[in-house]
């Protein structure tokens, strides 16, 4: 299941853009990949249980990276690795 949320707020001057792009396993609820930013953290990516800080490259490039990760996960499912 894919879940997305993109909002803009003037209340947070440091990071006015808030987003969450997530693919999770519908049966187990496990997050397979997620890109997000929220209070107390900078832009970051969760991928198969690991979390990494991501340099902000703009929303379009972040969405493109998210879509590439989805394709990588689909390939792992096809190959029986997940």
Residues 15-69 pLDDT 10s:
667 888 999 998 898 999 999 987 778 899 999 999 999 888 888 999 999 999 9
pLDDT of 7 over the 80 cut: no
CA atoms within 13 A on the CB side of 73: 21
The domain tally of the chain equals: 1
Reported as half-sphere exposure (CB side, CA atoms, 13 A), residue 8 has a value of 1
Give residue 44's domain range. 2-78
Place of tokens 């997050």: 31
For the entire predicted model, the pTM comes to: 0.84
Distance CA 82, CA 76 (A): 6
Give yes or no for a contact between 25 and 16, defined as CB atoms under 8 angstroms apart.
no
pLDDT of residue 82: 84
Higher pLDDT, 65 or 82: 65
- Alpha carbons within 13 angstroms on the beta-carbon side of residue 68 total 7
């Amino acid at each position: 299941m894919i879940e997305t949320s993109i909002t803009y707020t003037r209340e947070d001057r440091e990071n006015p853009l808030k987003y969450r792009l997530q693919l999770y396993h519908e049966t187990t609820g496990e997050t397979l990949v997620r890109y997000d930013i929220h209070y107390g953290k900078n832009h970051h990516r969760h991928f198969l249980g690991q979390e990494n800080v991501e340099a902000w490259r703009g929303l379009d490039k972040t969405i493109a990276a998210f879509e590439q990760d989805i394709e990588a996960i689909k390939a792992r499912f096809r190959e029986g690795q997940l």
